[in-house]
Each structure stands twice: as C-alpha cells, then as structure tokens.
Amino acid sequence: MKRYEYDVLVIGAGPGGSMAARYAARHGLKVLLIEKRPEIGVPVRCAEGISRAWMDEVEIEAQEHWIDAYMDGAKIYSPDEKSVLTLSAEQAGNEVGFVLNREYFDKYLASLAVKEGAEIWLKSPAVQIIKEDGYVRGAIVRRFGEEVDVRAKIIIAADGFESQVARWAGMNTVVREKDIVTCIQYRMTNIDIDEKFTHFYIGSCAPGGYLWIFPKGEKEANVGIGVALNKIKEPGEVKKYLDKFIEEHPWLSKGGVIQIVTGAVSTCPVPKHLVSDGLMLVGDAARLIDPITGGGIANACRSGKYAGEVAAKCIDNPSKECLKEYEDMVHKKWDRKHLRNWYVKEKLAALDDETLNKLLDAIADVEMSDISVMAILEAVQKKYPELIEEFEDLL
C-alpha cells in the first residue's frame, strides 16, 4: 500500500473542511484535503440561505458568482397563513441576508485552501482511520479506487452529518431521534413568490421542523421542508409533506421542479467532546447546527478556522490536552446559544396549530424595530395571557 505523510489530513471538502485546510496551510503546515465526491459542492445538501455578518471573521469576501439572490428579510407564516411576522435581515438572526449558490460557494472556499498551499484529492473517501497508542494517526483512503495509507499528525473530521470519522475513533456523536431533522427540497422554477424575502411556514405542515421558500432569482426558489424524525412514521413521508404543501398552493404547483435536494441535519445542543488525541471535529460532523434554523454553514466556516489555527499550535503535541483549546473556543462560542435554541425548539415542537396561530397573531402586531424575546412575550401576554404559561420557563 502506498504511504503518504502530511501534517494535517482534513476529511471532507465542504465549507468546514476547506476553511480548516486553508487556515492550517496558512500557518505553514503540509495539508491534504480529501473529498469522496467527484465534484466539490455537488450534490447540494442545503437550503442555501445565509447572513453576511459572520463572513469578516473568516475572511470571506462576498463574490457575485456564488450569490443567487439578496434578501430584504424573512416572513414567518402561521399555520392558517392568516398572520405573517416580517423580520428585516438584522432581526431575522443568522440565516438570512442572501441565498447562496453552494455549487460555486464550496468550490470558492476550496480554492482559498489551495491558494494557501493545501492539496486536494477528489473521489477519495476515507474508509477507515488509523489509530495507534490511542492516537488517530491517519486514514486508509480509497484514492480513485486504490487504497492508500495517509498519515498525519492531526486529523480534522469535516465529514458532515454522517460524522463517521469521529465515531470510528470512538467519540460519541450519535444524535437522538428527536434531534434529527430529515429534509427534502425542490428547486422550483416558474413560481409566483415575493422574491425579496425568505419565507418560513410552521406547524402541522412540517411537524418538529419548518417549510421554507428561499428565492434563487426570478420566479425561482428552493422550496424545502424539514421534519423531526420522531414525527415520521413511514418511509418517504417527508416528501409527502412537501408535495402536499405544493399541491395546496397553486402559485407553487404551477411551476416545475429542476432539482431535488435531500439530506438531514442535527438539532441538538453542542456535544461535550469535540477533540481526542490527534483528532478534531468541525461543522456538521461536530453537530454545530443551530437547533432552531438548522443553519450550519457559518458555524462550519468558523469552527474550521478555529481548528486550522489550533492545529498549527499543537502540531508537535497533538494530544487532546493541547487540542482542547479548540474545544473550549467552540463551547464558548456556541454552548449557550445552541442550548437556548434547542430548548425553544423543543417548546415550539410541542405547540399545536391553534396555539401557533394565536402566537403569530399576537406577535405579528409587534413593531418591526422592536423584535426581542421580551417584546414578543409582552405582546403575547396582552392578547393571549394563557399562552405565556407555555414559555414561562424561558423567562
């Protein structure tokens, strides 16, 4: 078996992997980035909506070729679709701003890694990790069909929702049934939508998740849905939910589907352990998904950067004690936010349509400039005091 040696092996060339490779290479390390697919960014497994606030931190400059549409804000619809909460981009939090073209975006990020000196192999899945004396020391990689032995001082697992590298290494990244959301999305064309807003539909149309419409340009949008796995009884049920919604809305059903995207996301709090001897987890593989929005691109990019930088510091001592600096950075950044959002998600998932209708009816009246948790709760209390009991724990 051919043998290769690197300082850092990054497994998975999504946003998290490319950023990890970029920052590790920038610090002078010899970096290999591997990807099992024949093309970076394909197939897309993403709704592509994102803000721009996080981009400075990871030194990404917006490029026209990977932005499909700019958004003015988000609209959230009650289950009866009688109430609409409109949020401007700043208020809507992390996940609006523009709608990406992931096929180009992911390739662009990979090119940033190459620019810093990282090497990339495509059609090269890691099929097993190499562990010695308790340390992860590399992986068996099937490169264009040939198994080769790749050794590295530090391995960065950026293998997405599958998160297999971590589990092969004995780390626990198993997600509970109620914290798994199964998703399907159609890219639809020739539909009639408000193209300046992302649209979110909640309630029984998407149990334990939501349905989204993210515009991709003129008369075109990603129309998708995520449903919590514990609400799914039959195989393929999530697709039935999406098809039903489209059928019930003539301004969608008049259009055609030009792409089908599928996937799953985790909606759990941040796991306690994100490093072991010789190994760091980033992005979806580290379960760094916002439990409410299901958004993960920004977190993947930021965690990738942190991991790449810590790799440079620990290259001569890749013990979990040294790599813990990365784990601490991640916990400091996301622990509180994701725990709170996970809790709100659990609460929201338990509300029936009638309650959600009342809730949206109450908060749709809140002045746009004044959207905060307290303002929302006060508005609800005025109109539907009994609803507040559901959220008392949050105060």
* Positions that interact with other proteins (CB under 8 A): 36-38, 43, 45, 123, 125, 127, 142, 160-164, 167-168, 174-175, 177, 180, 182-184, 229, 232-239, 260-264, 266
Residue with Cβ nearer other proteins (88 or 230): 230
Tokens of 104: 């180009």
Reduce the DSSP state of residue 230 to 3 states and report it: helix
Question: What is the C-alpha to C-alpha distance for residues 19 and 55, in angstroms, rounded to an integer?
Answer: 12
Question: What is the C-alpha to C-alpha distance for residues 167 and 212, in angstroms, rounded to an integer?
Answer: 32
Question: What is the C-alpha to C-alpha distance for residues 31 and 6, in angstroms, rounded to an integer?
Answer: 6
Q: Is the dihedral of CA 341, 344, 349, 352 positive or negative?
A: negative
Q: How far is the CB of 226 from other proteins (least distance, A)?
A: 10
Residue with Cβ nearer other proteins (264 or 363): 264
Residue with Cβ nearer other proteins (86 or 128): 128
Q: How far is the CB of 197 from other proteins (least distance, A)?
A: 25
Residue with Cβ nearer other proteins (160 or 308): 160
Q: How far is the CB of 129 from other proteins (least distance, A)?
A: 12
Indicate the residue type of 364.
A
Q: How far is the CB of 182 from other proteins (least distance, A)?
A: 5
Task: Residue count of the chain, please give it.
Answer: 395
Question: What is the C-alpha to C-alpha distance for residues 185 and 239, in angstroms, rounded to an integer?
Answer: 9
- Helix axes of 373-383 and 353-363: crossing angle, nearest 10 degrees: 110
Give the N- to C-terminal CA distance of the chain in Å, as an integer.
Answer: 60
Q: How far is the CB of 149 from other proteins (least distance, A)?
A: 18
Residue with Cβ nearer other proteins (168 or 391): 168
Q: How far is the CB of 273 from other proteins (least distance, A)?
A: 16
Question: What is the C-alpha to C-alpha distance for residues 91 and 304, in angstroms, rounded to an integer?
Answer: 26
Q: How far is the CB of 259 from other proteins (least distance, A)?
A: 11
Residue with Cβ nearer other proteins (38 or 256): 38
- Phi first, then psi: what are they for 302, rounded to 5°? -70, -45
Residue with Cβ nearer other proteins (21 or 265): 265
Question: What is the C-alpha to C-alpha distance for residues 59 and 370, in angstroms, rounded to an integer?
Answer: 31
Looking at the DSSP assignment, which residues form a beta bridge with residue 142? Answer: 147
Question: What is the C-alpha to C-alpha distance for residues 195 and 212, in angstroms, rounded to an integer?
Answer: 13
Q: How far is the CB of 211 from other proteins (least distance, A)?
A: 14
Determine if the peptide bond prior to 38 is cis (ω within 30°).
no
Residue with Cβ nearer other proteins (127 or 373): 127
Residue with Cβ nearer other proteins (37 or 52): 37
- Phi first, then psi: what are they for 73, rounded to 5°? 170, -165
Q: How far is the CB of 265 from other proteins (least distance, A)?
A: 9
Question: What is the C-alpha to C-alpha distance for residues 202 and 6, in angstroms, rounded to an integer?
Answer: 47
